Amino acid sequence: MLPVLEFEWSQALWSQTLGWSPNSGQQLQLQRLYQQILQGNQQLNLTRITEPSEFWEKHLWDSLRGIFPQLNETTPQPLSLIDVGTGAGFPGVPLAIACPNWQITLLDSTRKKVAFLEALAKQLELPIRSLAGRAEQIGQMSEYRASFDMATIRAVAAPAICAEYTLPLLKLGGMAVLYRGQWLAEEGRALEPAVAQLGGVIDRIDAFTTPISQSVRHCIYLKKIQPTPPEFPRPAGIPSQKPL
Ligand code: SAH
């Protein structure tokens, strides 16, 4: 038997912390997501985080916290969102469960993870598009470039690299969300010129702690205000070798 996520306590925490809680169908999907990840972990190295409350906090809650406080009645919906370097599907899959009318694309360079995500999407009946490829290549393809309202990126690379992976994919006015742990003022000052070169600005930095372990988190919101110059993203490997 696989461990079960205990939803009695999590329902109250969801509403207190995010002003949202999953309906019964979404609860079932979150539960099945957890079980599929545990199962997938037997073949693929998907995540170290498998204990139920830790999985809830670090994968489910954390994924939604980056987006939920930003949504309000004036947010145009449905949104198109790309999750860059999604790995086992975070934050993209919990977002797809919570926002079933959004168009969500998951991107990862590891083919095996993308195959896992395709099977997962079928199992959970989620209308997700999964792409195997590198952000540097996808960002130069006319089909994907400047075509998303939002881009998320968690635990993939240093901030300036994340900016180069995400900003080219956004429409003008779109928002990239960098999910980070600790954040220092120096990092913000270093990120600013990189973001400006890519046609963006740092719109907001949100500092908060997670509800169970009180771990420090920051979400960095980058707004695209100008088209990204055509030379970005640079060829595969360059953004990480020579960060802006
Ligand atoms: N976002 C997930 C996974 C983080 S691990 C989470 O927070 O749990 C980082 C993932 O980014 C890996 O799966 C790796 O394959 C992917 N990745 C790294 N560089 C990438 C690139 N340039 N383009 C696309 N995916 C990339």
Q: pLDDT of 118-170, one tens digit each?
A: 999 999 999 999 999 999 999 999 999 999 999 999 999 999 999 999 999 99
* Cβ atoms of 153 and 164 closer than 8 Å: no
pLDDT at 78: 74
How many Å separate Cα 236 from the centre of its chain? 21
C-alpha distances (whole Å) from 195 to each of 47, 140, 145, 159 are: 30, 17, 17, 9
How would you label 191-203 residue by residue, b for 16+ Cβ within 10 Å and e otherwise?
A: beebbebbbbebb
Residue nearest to atom 21 of ligand 1 (CA): 134
Low-confidence residues of the chain: pLDDT under 50: 1
Q: Is the minimum distance from the CB of 176 to ligand 1 under 6 angstroms? A: no
Task: Report how far ligand 1's centroid is from the alpha carbon of 16 (Å).
Answer: 31
Q: Rounded distance, CA 162 to CA 239, Å?
A: 9
Of ligand 1's listed atoms, the one at least distance from the Cα of 134 is 23
Q: Is the minimum distance from the CB of 86 to ligand 1 under 6 angstroms? A: yes
Q: Is the minimum distance from the CB of 87 to ligand 1 under 6 angstroms? A: yes
Task: Report how far ligand 1's centroid is from the alpha carbon of 202 (Å).
Answer: 22
Of ligand 1's listed atoms, the one at least distance from the Cα of 138 is 23
pLDDT at 10: 81
pLDDT at 68: 86
Pick from 54, 55, 109 the residue to mutate for probing ligand 1's pocket: most ligand atoms within 8 Å of its CB.
109
pTM (two decimals): 0.96
For 214, left (φ over 0), alpha (ψ -120 to 50), or beta? left
Pick from 108, 137, 162 the residue to mutate for probing ligand 1's pocket: most ligand atoms within 8 Å of its CB.
108
C-alpha distances (whole Å) from 162 to each of 22, 51, 75, 145, 212 are: 30, 29, 24, 15, 27
| C-alpha atoms less than 13 angstroms from C-alpha of 180 in its C-beta half-sphere | 21
- Which residue's structure tokens are 């912390």? 17
Residue nearest to atom 10 of ligand 1 (CA): 85
Q: Is the minimum distance from the CB of 156 to ligand 1 under 6 angstroms? A: yes
* Cβ atoms of 144 and 138 closer than 8 Å: yes
